[in-house]
Structure formats: structure tokens, C-alpha cells
Structure 1
Amino acid sequence: MIRIAAVGDIHLGPDSAGALRPAFDTLGDCADLLLLAGDLTRHGTPEEARVVAAETAGLPVPVVAVLGNHDYQSDRQDAVADELRSAGIHVLEGDGVLLDIDGTPVGIAGTKGFCGGFAGRSGSEFGEPEMKSFIRYSRASAEALGRSLRELREAGSVLRIALTHYAPVPDTLAGEPREIYPFLGSYLLAEAMDDEGADLAVHGHAHLGTEHGMTAGGVQVRNVAMPVIGQAFSVYHLSPDGSAHESRHSASRGAATHAARART
């Protein structure tokens, strides 16, 4: 059984130093890896990213992350990613990483993803150049995710996890105003997961959403935005046959206050 700790939307800043470290230091007892589902900083500055790096440096488990929209805010996303990588975090964008977890090859495919909406209520590549560009960006993110999942399968991954910031399904947005659903995710991400296969999908971004969802093809989806899970991380169990279970970990709930400062 592989134990996957996950959280997104931690929104750390200079005054957050040390807030999550006590909880993260317990990961060796309850998890085999940690997934960070974007919006790791508040304004996407290298200084904020250094706080995230310090919270995760030297942890007893591998750490894999994607960036979120907040991490792009200052147009320093490459510098943010570099700061995270300096702490040993695998930062993904349209690619994947294959980890050996106690002899089980576990692949994580990651992308920030983007907006566009969901089946029957989505944008299309039609009309103005700006609209075409908007949807093409979403499509390119989804295609890169699918390609990464396929490459991980071909590389021998027994379990595959899709890690995004934006939501692949509307299920996990329940609680958010329906008017903003098109800006919270895209069905194209779910199509990529269903086409190429995944055992679990993890995302953030929707602070007022719901934890549990599923793609049309049966991939279990979890919204791990900290305001949703209400703690420093949740732990999900995946068996080599792909079945998933979860446990509510008693990590510090006080850390959730840091995510409350910023909306998606």
C-alpha cells in the first residue's frame, strides 16, 4: 500500500516560516511521498518560494509539486520553480517523475493546467485570437499531462497519479459559485487522464470546493486545497491494483489559516 500525502493552496509568505514544518516532520510516520498541488506562494516571488523550500527541505519522503496561478503572479515562475528545486522538490510542468516507493514504481505526471470549463459548458477555439489562445493553452496543458501519463506507463510505472492545480472535474468544485466554474478548471484534463489512465488525480485551486470527485472514466479525484481539507495534508492509500483508500491525518489544522488569506 502506497501512502500519498497531499495538500495545495498553502500560500506561504515571509510570516509563514515554520508554520507547516512541524506537521511535515511527521510525514515519515504516515506517508511515502508528499504532493503539493500549486499555489504554494502568495504572489509568486522567489522570496516566498524560499519559505516553501525551507518548509520542505530534508523531509524523509520525496516531494513533488506543480505551480499554481498565485505562483505565476509576479511573472517569476521560473525563479519560483528553481527555489523549490534547490530544496530537492520535483517541480513538474507537462512532464513526470518515476519514483521507487518500497519497490513499487510510482509515477506522477504534473501540470498546472488551466481554465476553460466542463463538458457542455466550456469555451472553444473559435472567434477572437484571444479566445483561441486561451483554449489552446488549456488544451496544450492537458495534452502534455496525457503524454506524461503515457510515458510513465511505458516506463513501467505500476501506479500513476495526475497532479494538477486546476480542477479536471466539476464534482470537486461544489460549493464554489457556478458562475466561476469555467475559471477553476477544464474537462480536457479529465479527458487526458481517462485516455491514458491514472489511479488517482489530485488538484487544488477551489478553496470553497469539495474533496471528492471522479472522472467519467472512473479516476478518483481529490481536491486537496488546504481550506477544503482543513489540515496540513491529507493521506490517500493506493494499492498496486489501483484501488484507493484514504485516512484523515491529525496534522496541524492551524496551518489552514495561512491559506485563508488568499482566494483563487
Structure 2
Amino acid sequence: MEEKKIFKIAAVGDIHVRENDKGKYADYFRDISANADVLLICGDLTDTGDEDEAQVLSDELRNCTIPVVCVLGNHDYEKGRHKLIRQAIQNQNVHVLDGEAITIGNLGFAGIKGFGGGFDTHMLTMFGEDAMKAFVQEAVNEALHLERALVKLEADPMVQFKVAVLHYAPVKATVVGEPEAIFPFLGSSRLAEPMLRKGANVCFHGHAHAGTLEGSINGSGIKVFNVAKPILTKLGYEKPYFIYEVPL
């Protein structure tokens, strides 16, 4: 019997790179390259949403010799310079997804930032003031962008395993540990719906720094991992990145 190949995904979120971080991540990215086949960075690439911070990260990522798949986070939007941040980071080896998909080997990656709105029976609905409707609509739009990306993967005959990469959480389980009052600002169950419809195999996100590492989308078997760097550090990871193995 032919032995299955193990494809290793390294994942981390919320690295919050600053301008004075030059050289800080060189060994980190070299270590990841030695232990994984692809690196996912699940948003909040920069600390204050500045393109100079993004350039520092871009320089550090030269030490990463495996493909890198990123999404932006709320910090990357802070100054309205998210397009410049994406331009600074993206190159032939680093892919910044925003409703797009990419195939690496036999794995397909669909990426969005996501948005808030709450979970399960406590999701906000499209009712009331225009400002509240706009808040809900943003989560709906992000879910539609994720579905569009997953549809592209569904049509790719090379893809044997589908990975969703987000910043905001699609389930409540992985934000538990944060104050319950801010759950609506940490993610939305609307983000889980495209994964249920289009059959994602696993999801990685960040954003909830005091959340929980592992959860799942109810009744689906789809694992969800909150790989925010502060969580991995708190759990005692010597080098704070998470490894997920995919047998192919």
C-alpha cells in the first residue's frame, strides 16, 4: 500500500509587526520553513495598520522559504491603508487573500478577513437603524466572499482538501475566554455557513487573543482553530505557531 504524504500547515495570527521589529522574526520564519509546507497568517499582520510596518514584515518573510497565505485583520484596516499593506506584503511567495482562493499542491485555501455580528441564536439581525443594518451587512458580505472563494476551490480538480483562512471567528467555541459582552465583535456564525454549504475541511482564524485554541462548527466535523499568537504563547508553545497535519 502506498504511504500517504503528510502535508504540514503552520498557522499563526495576530503577530502585530511594528517598525522596530526588524530582525525579530527571521529565525521564527526559518524555523517554520523547516517544519511545515505552508504558513498561514490569520490577520493583524501589522500593529497600527501602517505600510511601513508591512514593509518590515515583508522583509522578514524573505526568511520564509515555503508559500505563505495571509488575510488582513482589523488592525490592518486601522488607518485605511489596507491596500498599501497588501501591496507591500504580496509577492510570488506571499499571497494575501480577500475573497480569493489559491491552490498549493492538493490543498485549496480560501481567505477573507471576516467580521463580527455574534453567534448562534444571539446573532444580530438586519433590523433597526441603518448603522446596525450596515454592521450586519458587512458580515453577510464577508460570508459571501468566502463562499465565492470556496466555489472556486470546488471547481478545481486538483484540490483534495479545503482550508478556510479568516481573522474573525466563525464559531463561539474559539472565542470563549474573552469577556462575553464582546463576543459580537469577535466573529459571526454567518462566516460558518459557506463552509457548511461548500464543504471546507478545516478553518483557522485569530483576533480573539484570550480565546480558545480549538472548536468545531456544530454538527459538521469541521475543525476550527484560533491560532492567535497570544493564545499559543500562553499554552506554552516554545515558538508560537500551530502545526496541523493533513494526510493526502
SS state at 1:25 partner: helix
Number of equivalenced pairs: 236
TM-score normalised by length of structure 2: 0.92
1:238 to 222, 243, 246: 246
The one-letter code sitting in structure 2 at the alignment partner of 1:191 is E
SS state at 2:192 partner: helix
The alpha carbon displacement at 1:239 in A equals 1.6
Which aligned pairs between 1:54-203 and structure 2 lie closer than 5 A? 54-57=59-62, 59-86=64-91, 88-100=93-105, 105-156=106-157, 157-203=159-205
2:55 to 45, 50, 58: 50
Match of 1:14 in 2: 19
RMSD after superposition: 1.2
Q: Deviation string for 1:204-255 (max 9, x for gaps)?
A: 0000001000001221000000000114311110123xxxxxxxxxxxxxxx
Looking at structure 2, the residues matched to 27 and 114 of structure 1 have their Cα atoms a distance apart, in angstroms, of 28
Q: Deviation string for 1:159-183 (max 9, x for gaps)?
A: 1100000000010111100000000
The one-letter code sitting in structure 2 at the alignment partner of 1:91 is V
1:23 to 6, 24, 28: 28
Match of 1:2 in 2: 7
Which aligned pairs between 1:28-43 and structure 2 lie closer than 5 A? 28-43=33-48
129-138 or 67-76: bigger deviation = 129-138
| Alignment gaps of 5+ in structure 2 | 1-5, 234-238
The alpha carbon displacement at 1:87 in A equals 7.0
17-26 or 29-38: bigger deviation = 17-26
The alpha carbon displacement at 1:155 in A equals 0.8
Q: Deviation string for 1:140-192 (max 9, x for gaps)?
A: 10111122112102112111100000000010111100000000000011111
SS state at 2:174 partner: helix
Looking at structure 2, the residues matched to 21 and 72 of structure 1 have their Cα atoms a distance apart, in angstroms, of 25
* Alpha-carbon contact 2:140-2:190 (below 8 Å) kept: yes
Q: 1:169 to 1:206 in 2, by over 3 A?
A: same
1:211 to 193, 210, 213: 213
TM-score normalised by length of structure 1: 0.87
SS state at 1:57 partner: helix
Match of 2:229 in 1: 226
Looking at structure 1, the residues matched to 64 and 230 of structure 2 have their Cα atoms a distance apart, in angstroms, of 23
* Alpha-carbon contact 1:58-1:87 (below 8 Å) kept: no
Percentage of identical aligned residues: 40
Looking at structure 2, the residues matched to 132 and 28 of structure 1 have their Cα atoms a distance apart, in angstroms, of 43
SS state at 2:146 partner: helix
